[in-house]
Amino acid sequence: MRNFEKPGRSVAIGRNGMAATSHPMATLAALEILKAGGAAIDAAVGACAVQCVVEAGSTGVGGDCFALLSTNGGADVVAFNGSGRTPAAADLSWYQSQGIRTIERFSPHAVTVPGAVDAWTRLVADHGRMPMEDVLSQAISFAREGYGITSRVAADISHQEELLKRDPSCRRIFLVDGKAPDVGAVQYQPELAGTLEAIGREGRDAFYRGGIAEEMVSHLAAHGGLHTTDDFATAGGEYVKPISASYRGWDVHECPPNGQGIIALLILKILERFAPAGDPLDPENLIVEVEATRLAYAARDRWVADASTSETPVDFLMSDALADELAAKIDRKAPVDAKAILGGVEHSDTVYISVVDKDRNAASFINSIFHPYGSGLMAPKSGVLFHNRGQSFTLEEGHPNAIAPRKRPMHTIIPGMVTKGGRTMMSFGVMGGHYQAMGHAQFLSKLIDYGLDIQSAIDLPRLFPLPGTATVEMEESLRQSAGDYFTARGFKVQPPNWAIGGAQAIWIDWEHGTLHGASDHRKDGCALGY
């Protein structure tokens, strides 16, 4: 039971439908779609489109998407990979011949062909009940008529001022006299409104063929990009078989590689080999979570890549033998040797949306432009802000995640789903770039090992070990309670650049016939049900 003398949020409760997003306008949009008879996926896509407008630093039509869906509360989970591929000309030898050693953020080479719009239209057509025009209508209205800037959005813009100044369209839309706008200021995106209207009328081809695609290709080419109209015309996501693992009797489902969901499962498999004790924030427990993460991320950086073009050893990464081997390396007295783990990261922006409708169809939906405001490149006539997901590639020859023609990069964004006894129990996700795999494992451990409700588990302070280092980022209250413990064992403890991640979840209470929703205080959003 929540302590009502302390600040916090209550779990949202509904009977007929529930939506949880990181922006209040998106949550409200999802509920309105549900009330109008839309299915969970209609509401998820409609909410995401709203966030592409009002929380443009976190997501956009110029980004990528992954989804997990279940039908009528059953345990058969469907996965869709809506991540985009590199241009056909993106051969590693070309980058080497140009003297390019790393892919820079403000670069067309960081832009793979966006996969989100294809994913939206496919999923709504296959699993929805509403026309795409109706699904996108609220986002179009906000883009054309204006929307107020919320606190987290204002903070994100202020952190990205220098990036946004570089691009004339970004500067015009997101900044005021070259500065971040105040909380409550009103922004407009009329060009994006036109693009969304075209998608609503004409479907995916409005984005991937014709004038909008030609303008995007032309803009990227003007910056030195290798993209062609054929790269856009042939783009397309795919349904894939989800991967799953049992954690203390609960079945956890993730999308397969090129996403890092397999690493969330690996962390859980390592944690399952330790008996939790005491408080969920006890340093003895936290250090096991940190070391399990450091070991699992070492495996990620070595092996996880686009399984359609590179060999990713899924069976090995999911094996009990690997989990046993890695668990045996954990020593609470000192950090595991991290020499083989690749370099540091930052927490990147994404939106995660969870929706369950009256028929208990569940949508676990995630859409991202990677770092806040992505590449900072915007096509001026269409208003499409491009992601920078191509930065996840390596230019190391022979590496599974090396850039190559029409290849998808290793992806950090991962939706999650939990089933048990033939039923969907929870749709959930955690935002925050590279943190997400650890975030999934931490969140589930707090629920399953310590019996917390979904809101209380989300509210707990977070920590994250920067891959490749013995540095652990900790939010303030954890630095006070556990910082000395980690420092004494050889870790460097530091504050994060900003609050770590964000999360949403919906729990299906089959006993009472209700839905429980939760949303993270680290973002502007909320969970609402009816």
Q: Where are the alpha helices (DSSP H) in 365-488?
A: 436-450, 454-459, 476-488
Strand 238-240 versus strand 384-385 pairing type: unpaired
Confidence bin at 339 (pLDDT 50/70/90): low
Give the pTM.
0.95
- Alpha-carbon dihedral sign for residues 144, 145, 151, 154: positive
Confidence bin at 349 (pLDDT 50/70/90): low
Taking alpha carbons only, the member of 84, 178, 82, 172 closest to residue 381 is 172
Q: How far is CA 188 from CA 85, 142, 368, in A?
A: 30, 8, 21
Determine the average pLDDT of the residues in 480-487. Answer: 97
Query: In degrees, to the nearest 5, what angle opens at C-alpha 133 toward C-alphas 36 and 227?
Result: 140
How far is the C-alpha of 426 from the C-alpha of 423, rounded, in Å?
9
> Is it the case that residue 346 has pLDDT exceeding 80?
no
Q: Where are the alpha helices (DSSP H) in 304-415?
A: 314-317, 320-328
Confidence bin at 276 (pLDDT 50/70/90): confident
Do the Cβ atoms of 506 and 355 come closer than 8 Å? yes
User: Looking at residue 334, what is its pLDDT?
Assistant: 87
Residue found by looking up tokens 């949403």 in the block:
504
> Is it the case that residue 350 has pLDDT exceeding 90?
no
Do the Cβ atoms of 429 and 504 come closer than 8 Å? yes
Token representation of residue 263: 């690493």
User: pLDDT digit string (tens) for 37-80?
Assistant: 999 999 999 999 999 999 999 999 999 999 999 999 999 999 99
CA 83 to chain centre: 12
Backbone φ, ψ for residue 180 (5° rounding): -65, 140
User: pLDDT digit string (tens) for 386-414?
Assistant: 999 999 999 999 999 999 999 999 999 99
Token representation of residue 415: 């939706």
Confidence bin at 6 (pLDDT 50/70/90): confident
For the chain, percent of residues with pLDDT exceeding 90: 91
User: Looking at residue 208, what is its pLDDT?
Assistant: 98
Do the Cβ atoms of 261 and 317 come closer than 8 Å? no
Of the chain, the end-to-end C-alpha distance in Å amounts to 22
Domains delineated in the chain = 12-239+348-392 (no CATH), 258-347+437-505 (1.10.246.130)
User: pLDDT digit string (tens) for 171-199?
Assistant: 999 999 999 999 999 999 999 999 999 99
Identify the active-site residue in 112, 293, 350, 424: 350
User: pLDDT digit string (tens) for 407-439?
Assistant: 999 999 999 999 999 999 999 999 988 999 999
User: Looking at residue 338, what is its pLDDT?
Assistant: 56
How far is the C-alpha of 483 from the C-alpha of 475, rounded, in Å?
10
Burial (CB < 10 A; 0-12, 13-18, 19+), residue 51, is buried
- Averaged confidence pLDDT in the chain: 95
User: Looking at residue 140, what is its pLDDT?
Assistant: 98
Strand 471-474 versus strand 463-465 pairing type: antiparallel
Q: CB under 8 Å to 68, separation ≥6 — which residues?
A: 77, 78, 79, 80, 242, 253, 254, 255, 363, 364, 415, 416, 417, 427
How far is the C-alpha of 1 from the C-alpha of 70, rounded, in Å?
29
Residue found by looking up tokens 């709203």 in the block:
50
User: Looking at residue 348, what is its pLDDT?
Assistant: 55
Residue found by looking up tokens 């090992």 in the block:
449
Confidence bin at 342 (pLDDT 50/70/90): very low
350 is catalytic: yes
Taking alpha carbons only, the member of 108, 10, 70, 450 closest to residue 248 is 450
Token representation of residue 409: 């990069």
Determine the average pLDDT of the residues in 305-324. Answer: 90
How far is the C-alpha of 109 from the C-alpha of 225, rounded, in Å?
6
User: Looking at residue 347, what is its pLDDT?
Assistant: 47
Q: Which residues pair with 402 in a beta bridge?
A: 394
Do the Cβ atoms of 287 and 489 come closer than 8 Å? yes
Q: Long-range contacts for 477-480 (Cβ within 8 Å, ≥24 apart)?
A: 478/281, 478/286
User: Looking at residue 277, what is its pLDDT?
Assistant: 81
User: pLDDT digit string (tens) for 236-245?
Assistant: 999 999 999 9
> Is it the case that residue 248 has pLDDT exceeding 70?
yes
Taking alpha carbons only, the member of 508, 507, 417 closest to residue 457 is 507
**Helix 261-271 and helix 283-303, axial crossing angle in degrees, nearest 10:** 140
Does residue 325 sit in helix, strand or coil? Answer: helix
> Any idea which of 64-78, 231-245, 296-310, 490-504 has the lowest mean pLDDT?
296-310
